[in-house]
Amino acid sequence: MSHYHLYAIGNALVDTEYEVSDELLSAMGVSKRHMTLIDMPQRAELLRHVQGLHARRTGGGSAGNTVVALAQLGGNAFYSCRVADDELGAFYMQDLQTNGVATNLTHTRPTEGQTGSCMVLVTPDAERSMCTFLGATSQLDASALHPQDIAKSKIYYMEGYLAASPTGLEAAVQGRQIAIDHQVQTALTLSDVSMINFCKAGLEAMIGNGLDYLFANEEEAQTWCGTNDLDAILAQLSPLAKTVCLTRGPKGCIVVQGGQRTEVPAVPTKAVDTNGAGDMFAGTFLYGITHGHSPALAAALANRTAAAVVSQHGNRLTKAQMQAIYTDFQKASS
């Protein structure tokens, strides 16, 4: 019997979110809608621009958000990541524990240095632009893996952002092989257009000979495939995984499995902050899959939680919110 529904590996980042104007975003020189890696001097300069603005601090990291979503719904999750021996590192580890996520951090001594952080800049059109200082997570390596726990999981999930880190990529691929050796299903999120543009070889290494689940939003899929033609995109992505989830914002999502395409409509909502939408979708979808729901039903549930998270500021919902959404979904589906 599986001990964890989901075992994930990814970056440990503490998010600090600011609401900014397009003019300020432009003045900061930040690429809109995408993730940009920054160093400490760049971070200091960006912080100067947002001085005095209200900030929200939460646990983050793409795969971190995904495991928290699954755990809040009642699933068992494990997260392999890396933090430093500082206040942000303690905050991050406590956040995982509060949300019921098991982690390698409880078994390893934090390193010197600074825990990774991400400035999330949200403009009035609800788009999020991210400036990420990796810090300690840039040294994430295979020592963060718990092979015995991977072997006892239903699904092993990789964060595409690790393609930018040689040691992180090596760890993700090593964990993938452990999963395959123990008949554990594998999953990957492409994460961001920047990863496809600059680190595609790393993403291809994570895909290997094929995955069980692949997550991508429409812009990522268009960039990966070099076309905006939806049929051509789905034809290119389908061989990469047994199940492909293509999220399309207000247009809902498309699930492709065994050559069969299922379009799942979005839940109407007014988006104010798209930060965390894809992570939420993946975590909720994988919860549904590991708890007996069909891919179409799992996607319908994931569309509900994604709609809820973009209708507020912040990258996560509370456990109570997640449980209420699931209860309503079960009533509607019965």
Residue 22 falls in which region: left (phi positive, over 0), alpha (psi -120 to 50) or beta: alpha
Average pLDDT in the 190-208 region? Answer: 97
- Which residue in 315, 316, 287 sits closest to 301, CA to CA? 287
Which two tokens mark 23?
Answer: 């003019």
Residue partners of 260: CB distance under 8 A and separation at least 6 = none
Pairing of strands 4-9, 77-80: parallel
Average pLDDT in the 46-68 region? Answer: 96
CA atoms within 13 A on the CB side of 28: 30
Digit-coded pLDDT (tens) for 201-257: 999 999 999 999 999 999 999 999 999 999 999 999 999 999 999 999 999 999 999
Q: How many CB atoms lie within 10 A of CB 145?
A: 19
Sign of CA dihedral 236, 237, 240, 241: negative
Predicted confidence at residue 108, as pLDDT, reads 87
Average pLDDT in the 23-30 region? Answer: 96
- Could you give the number of structural domains in the chain? 1
Rg (CA), the chain: 18
Which two tokens mark 326?
Answer: 């699931």
Q: What pTM did the predictor assign?
A: 0.96
List the CATH number of the domain containing 43: 3.40.1190.20
Strand partners, 185: 155
Average pLDDT in the 111-125 region? Answer: 95
**Is residue 305's pLDDT more than 80?**
yes
- Which residue in 250, 171, 155 sits closest to 205, CA to CA? 171
Predicted confidence at residue 259, as pLDDT, reads 84
**Is residue 277's pLDDT more than 80?**
yes
Predicted confidence at residue 54, as pLDDT, reads 94
Question: Rounded distance, CA 307 to CA 269, Å?
Answer: 6
Q: Residue 262: enclosing H or E segment and its boundaries?
A: strand 260-264
Q: What residue numbers bound the domain in which 123 lies?
A: 4-333
Question: Rounded distance, CA 227 to CA 178, Å?
Answer: 34
Digit-coded pLDDT (tens) for 140-175: 999 999 999 999 999 999 999 999 999 999 999 999
- Which residue in 199, 153, 204 sits closest to 175, CA to CA? 153
Q: Residue 201: enclosing H or E segment and its boundaries?
A: helix 193-207
**Is residue 1's pLDDT more than 90?**
no
